[in-house]
Amino acid sequence: MFRARRSVPVALLLRRHAAQVLLTALFAAAFTAQAVGALLPHLPLLLAATIASLAAEGVLHRWQRGMVTVLAKTHADLTVRHVLRDLLLVFGLLRLGEQDRETVYAPLVAGLLAFYALHCAIQALSVLVRRTRTLPVVTRNIDASALRLSAAPPLLLRRPGHRLLVFGLPSTAGLLATVATDDLRCAALGIALSLGLAVMGLFDLLVRLLPSRRPAGEQEVLDWFDAWLAEYRPTVGLYFSGGASSAYQANMWLEPLAQLEGRPLIVLRERFMVQKIAATDVPIVCLPKVTTLMRLEQSTLQVLVHPSNSGKTSQVLRIPTLKHTFVNHGESDKLSSCNPYAKAYDEVWVAGPAARERYALAEVGVEDKDVVEIGRPQLDAVLPYAGPPAGTYTTVLYAPTWEGWDGNPGNTSVVEAGENLVRALLADPGVRLLYKPHPLTGSVDPRAGAADLRIRELIRAANRERTGSRPVADGELERRTKELDALTATDGRACADQVERMLLQSTPEPGRADAVARATAAWEEAYWASLPEWEHQVVTDVRPALYSCFNRADLLVSDVSSVVSDFLASGKPYAVANTSGLPEDAFREMFPTVRAATVLAPDAAGVPKLLEAVRHPEKDELVESRAELKRQLLGPDEPPSQVRFNEAVQTLCSASREHRVRMAERVAGEIPGPRGALDEARELELDATAEN
């Protein structure tokens, strides 16, 4: 049994590294053979080894880009490889030629040296150009044309490895031809072509350093940003900082933010995150430096909404003119949902009474008066329960969470129960399984990553055993994908940099957000229609979203996580895997979100009975419990969550404005002189009153 369970990940691991080992061996063999061919000298061996080395370079940059970093760490980067390759060719020419012809090769060597000197000069200039194009503020959905934005330099001029490989290919090819034919003109022509390409690249970068071709300087950009803030007059912002895989935490709040009264703004800290934020009409600003971030203090911004904690959150909390609220990116019974860091915010906004009680029991310093129940406005997209499965198959969504940072075995069911659960579900011929693992699965505990791979293999094997007709491909999904990609594209050209993207994404078209929503709904409909009804699915891409999977599922199997709380909005049956080691009664008592769930042991013995209750609602004993738990976790249905969210924002904005007036009055009383801050605070209050 042990070998069977471990064979799949070991095989995958071997396949993953086999190509890298083979490529490394090919490089070593090729350069060794090239050196031997040059020393002997042996013409066929020298030619074959050089061609093999060039072929390995092509494979490396096309399919094994991770090896580029590995080789660079061993000081065998592309520049070293390229110089060594050409050096061996020249040495081979010297060995193959007559002694009195050695001086003939001197111009060729000089040309090669000039080419490598130009390569270094291009690299130095590309660094300077990149610095001029690294602005202190990065924006989206804001007209930044006043900053003299322009298209990015060609990608080859910014990537030294690719540039050397392409620009140096003619010289290497020419040397190869000379070795084969003994015609020096081939090498001369190849080196001349490489020199020409390098000179053109150098000229392109020099032109971009001219004052008229540079983007605006740092102070000019900051002055422009201050002017934009004064003109736009933002009132509420979404503040987010995190890694690339955490962007979903901000994206789930985009639509509720866009529907707020006032002038919303998205504030980011990492430059790459600007392109990770999903399609929205809300203006986006990225402020990487703390000094730039502090300019928000002088703006009309009143409230910042925080969907997550990060190391950089403490920096923005220092701005005294802002009120801060923590909304989280999901609620569960885990300790992370009532983190002590929450007491740093002015208020903590939760979905329903259960979260309020959770903070009270956790005793982490969050006072009850600072907790505001707003519901979960994102859940408007979740469809309500419409009865038992009507088709041939019962669709089950298995959406486990990840292993977390604390090593608690109860965090995720993937390691101890995942395979058993999946096997039990796949054993029922009437089940169609949707497996959607958490994006961070395996990032901390390798066992979770290995179990995830085994689960995927189980699903693939089950699909191979199933047969059935497939929907006729009518191109609908392809058309919808192109339509949605065109609406949501944020990267521009493949070689676009941040400045070029700022230029391309200056101002969204009116109604673009509504168009994206319609296109997304159409894409999801086409996606599900394109899949066979009987086929199990592993869902790991950004699309379809989790809530789309909710709407397709008749049953959810998950862990103690925010997925359970969100799924309760549907009213459908759900189950939670108990890998905590606690007895079922204690498990339900410790985790309130489990109280209306079917609890599954790690051996998954309860799966058949669970499926029976899903297919025959009269056997479902948890209907009323789910309805009650939904009110506890998500609050009442009326007023709608979006309304409560907006009211909470407006109330906190009002508190922020009042705080500004009090602070301005105190400063004006203590420091005689200009009363600009007080006048501005009162003007802000008057503007808000007029808008209301």
Is residue 690 over pLDDT 90?
no
Other C-beta atoms closer than 10 Å to the C-beta of 680 total 15
Hey, which residues does 265 pair with through a beta bridge? 237
Question: Residue 285, SS3?
Answer: strand
The mean-pLDDT minimum among 20-34, 130-144, 367-381, 667-681 falls in 667-681
Q: How far apart are CA 397 and CA 409, in angstroms?
A: 22
Task: Give the Cβ contact number of residue 458 at 10 Å.
Answer: 20
So what's the pLDDT on residue 672? 57
Per-residue confidence (pLDDT) for residue 10, from 0 to 100: 44
What's the farthest any 2 CA atoms get from each other in the chain? 100
CA contacts within 13 A on the Cβ side of 351: 28
Q: What pLDDT band is residue 69 in, cutting at 50, 70 and 90?
A: confident
Virtual torsion, Cα 504, 287, 512, 510, nearest 10 deg: -80
- Give the model's pLDDT for residue 113: 87
User: Which pLDDT score is estimated for 295?
Assistant: 96
The two structure tokens encoding residue 340: 């002590």
Token pair recorded at residue 228: 């934009």
Average pLDDT over residues 414-428: 96
Beta strand 371-373 with 537-538 is unpaired
Query: What pLDDT score does 679 carry?
Result: 61
Rounded (5°) CA angle 476-481-487:
130
Residue 18: name the closest of 67, 57, 55 by CA. 67
Span 491-515, average pLDDT: 79
* Fold designation for 385-463+535-634: Rossmann fold (3.40.50)
Evaluate if residue 16 carries a pLDDT over 90.
Answer: no
Question: Is the predicted pLDDT of residue 563 greater than 50, yes or no?
Answer: yes
All structural domains of the chain with their residue ranges: 20-135+154-208, 218-380, 385-463+535-634, 641-691
User: 3-state DSSP call for residue 479?
Assistant: helix
444 and 405 in contact (C-beta within 8 Å)?
yes
pLDDT digits 0-9 by tens, 626-639: 999 999 989 998 89
Q: Which fold has domain 218-380?
A: Rossmann fold (3.40.50)
User: Residue range 23-51: average pLDDT?
Assistant: 89
Consecutive H or E run containing 39: helix 2-39
Quote the radius of gyration of the chain (alpha carbons, Å): 31
The dihedral of CA 587, 592, 595, 596: what is its sign? negative
What single DSSP character describes residue 662? H
Mean pLDDT of 564-573: 94
Q: What is the pLDDT of residue 1?
A: 30
Bridge pairing between strands 394-399 and 236-240: unpaired
* Over residues 590-603, mean pLDDT: 93
The strands making up 138-140's β-sheet, listed across from edge to edge, are 138-140, 284-286, 264-268, 236-240, 303-306, 323-326, 347-350, 371-373
Mean pLDDT of 363-372: 90
Q: Report the pLDDT value the prediction gives residue 671, as an integer from 0 to 100.
A: 62
Q: Which of 21-35, 75-89, 220-234 has the highest mean pLDDT?
A: 220-234
Tell me which residue of 436, 431, 427 sits closest to 389, measured CA to CA. Answer: 431
Count CB atoms within 10 A of the CB of residue 641. Answer: 23
Give the highest mean pLDDT range of 171-180, 501-510, 674-683: 171-180
Q: What is the mean pLDDT of the chain?
A: 88
The mean pLDDT value for 250-278 works out to 94
The pLDDT of residue 88 is above 50: yes
pLDDT classification of 335: cutoffs 50, 70, 90? low
pLDDT in tens, 215-226: 999 999 999 999
d(CA 507, CA 254): 17
pLDDT exceeds cutoff 90 at 485: no
270-296: average pLDDT: 94
Rounded CA separation 314/307 (Å): 14
Residue 491 has pLDDT above 70, yes or no: no
Mean pLDDT of 334-352: 85
- pTM for the model stands at 0.80
**Cα angle for residues 449, 453, 457 (degrees, 5° grid):** 165
For the ranges 332-346, 350-364, 484-498, 524-538, the maximum mean pLDDT occurs at 524-538
- Residue 12 in this model has a pLDDT that exceeds 50: no
- Give the integer Cα–Cα distance in Å for 554 and 617: 11
pLDDT at residue 9, rounded to an integer? 44
- List, in order, residues 6 or more apart from 351 with CB less than 8 Å away: 331, 373, 374, 375, 376, 565, 633, 634, 635, 641
Contacts of 662 by beta carbon, 8 Å cutoff, 6+ apart: none
Angle in degrees, CA 644, 650, 656, rounded to 5: 140
SS3 content of the chain, % helix, strand, coil (to 5): 60, 10, 30
Residue with tokens 């329960």: 385
Interatomic CA distance for residues 625 and 608, integer angstroms = 21
The predicted structure's pLDDT at residue 688: 61
Whether the pLDDT of residue 673 is over 70: the answer is: no
pLDDT at 3 over 80: no
- Comparing CA positions, the residue from 12, 61, 52, 9 lying closest to residue 28 is 52
In this chain, the answer to whether the domains covering 218-380 and 385-463+535-634 adopt an identical fold is: yes
Contact residues for 132 (Cβ-Cβ < 8 A; gap 6+):
208, 209, 214, 215
- CA angle 143/144/150 to nearest 5° reads 125
Q: Give, in order, the Cα–Cα distances in Å from 53 to each of 9, 78, 562, 623, 668.
A: 32, 12, 52, 67, 74
pLDDT score of 288 more than 80 = yes
Number of neighbouring beta carbons within 10 Å of residue 467: 8
Give the residue from 402, 529, 384 showing the smallest Cα distance to 470: 529
Average pLDDT over residues 575-580: 94
Q: Are 241 and 313 in contact (CB under 8 A)?
A: yes
pLDDT at 610: 96
Examine the pLDDT at 474 and tell me if it is beyond 90. no
**pLDDT tens string 379-415:** 988 999 999 998 899 999 999 999 887 667 678 999 9
pLDDT at 602: 95
Residue 105: band (very low, low, confident or very high) from pLDDT cuts 50, 70, 90:
confident
Residue 675 above 60 pLDDT?
Answer: no
Predicted confidence band of residue 290 (pLDDT cuts 50, 70, 90): very high
The confidence band for 460, taking pLDDT boundaries of 50, 70 and 90, is: very high
pLDDT of res. 670 = 67
Structure letter (DSSP) for residue 430: T
Q: What's the DSSP call for residue 636? A: -
pLDDT at 6: 35
Partners of 373 in beta bridges: 350
Q: Is a pLDDT exceeding 50 seen at residue 122?
A: yes
Flag the least confident range among 168-177, 325-334, 494-503, 667-676. Answer: 667-676
Out of 47-61, 206-220, 591-605, pick the least confident. 47-61
DSSP three-state, residue 471: coil
Would the pLDDT of 331 be above 80? no
Percent of the chain with pLDDT over 90: 59
Ordered strands of the 574-577 beta sheet: 537-538, 431-435, 394-399, 555-558, 574-577, 598-600
